[in-house]
Structure 1
Amino acid sequence: MAVKKKFPYRSAVVACNGGCRAAEGETGCKDGCIGCGACVNKCKFGAISINEYGVAEVDEEKCIACGACTKVCPQGVIHIHECANYIVVKCSNKKKGAEAKKQCEVSCIGCGICEKTCTAGAIKVSDNCAVIDESVCLSCGMCIVKCPRHVIHDLRGIFT
């Protein structure tokens, strides 16, 4: 059983939506979750499962942020997230624009709209993918509202 956490707490997050699962063969994303299950097998708390899209998904209530899953992920798409900030980017695709769109129906295309929208300066586009500096983010949700590809998510479910 997981340890009860104090606020703010940490949890693992998978930076992949699974939209690339819609694309078959070589057109699929090479940067996202491959659904291998290594993280599921490594997690001693039963906090990770493979969802209907074939992508690892973390149950925040069970996760104690031990980091075991981050170490075994062959794609490097799992990271430990400070849950005082509920805004996350659910994509790891490094391709730009049209190529990213071909690979995944919900991939970041590196357009920079989120970066321009963020009044706190918490979002930067790096390697054609949005990255949030959790220590600066205000969790206002403007990036979620403006993202044309719906790549940025609110873990609370408020901005859906």
Structure 2
Amino acid sequence: MAVKKKFPYRSAVVACNGGCRVTAGDNGCKDGCIGCGACVEKCKFGAISLNEYGVAEIDEEKCIGCGACGKVCPQQIIHVHECANWIVVKCSNKSKGAEAKKQCEVSCIGCGICEKTCTAGAIRVTDNCAVIEESVCLSCGMCAVKCPRHAIYDLRGIYTAKN
């Protein structure tokens, strides 16, 4: 088990929540986790597993934040973040609203509600998807509460269900 030396510590996060259950021939999200397992194989600490939907999940207790998993991810959706900020966008879908809704049950549709809600100005919608500037975010969780698609999560499980 990896030992966290100080707070805040760094850990990887996967920007996909697995809301798209694509099967062969479906027209689903092309930006999310494809369940290839490259990140699982690369992680020397056993911190990554594929969940029941085939989406990579990070065990923050084991993750040391080295970023090796992100470098091998073919979708480029694994990022290292400061764990002092518990609010994350678990979506990478760049499709426009209506199309994103069709592709995934919990995709960001770029509506901008989170951006308007954020009093710190930490969220911007870029390429139809919310992006949080971690150095500005206060982790108040209001964006997660207001997100109509539940694409923004509180990793602590206070404002949104912990997953």
User: What is the TM-score with the length of structure 2 in the denominator?
Assistant: 0.95
Distance 2:147 2:71 in 1: 30
User: Which protein is richer in helix relative to its size?
Assistant: 1
Matches within 5 A, 1:7-156: 7-21=7-21, 25-156=25-156
User: Identity over aligned residues, as a percent?
Assistant: 86
| Large movers: runs of 4+ above 6 Å | none
Report the counterpart of residue 4 of structure 2 in structure 1. Answer: 4
1:63-117 CA-to-partner distances (Å, cap 9, x unmatched) read 0011110100000000001100100000000001110001001000000000000
How many equivalent pairs are there?
A: 160
Structure 2: where are the runs of 5+ without partners? none
Structure 1: where are the runs of 5+ without partners? none
Distance 2:130 2:23 in 1: 22
User: What is the TM-score with the length of structure 1 in the denominator?
Assistant: 0.97
Letter in 1 for 2:141: G
Moved more, 21-30 or 70-79: 21-30
Report the 3-state secondary structure (helix = DSSP H, G, I; strand = E; otherwise coil) of the residue aligned with 1:57: strand
Tell me: CA distance 1:45–1:107, structure 2 relative to 1, closer, same or farther (3 Å): same
Distance 1:78 1:20 in 2: 17
CA shift at 1:23, angstroms? 6.3
Does the 8 A contact of 1:22 with 1:105 survive in 2? no
Distance 1:8 1:25 in 2: 43
Letter in 1 for 2:94: K
RMSD: 1.1
Distance 1:150 1:24 in 2: 26
CA shift at 1:5, angstroms? 2.9
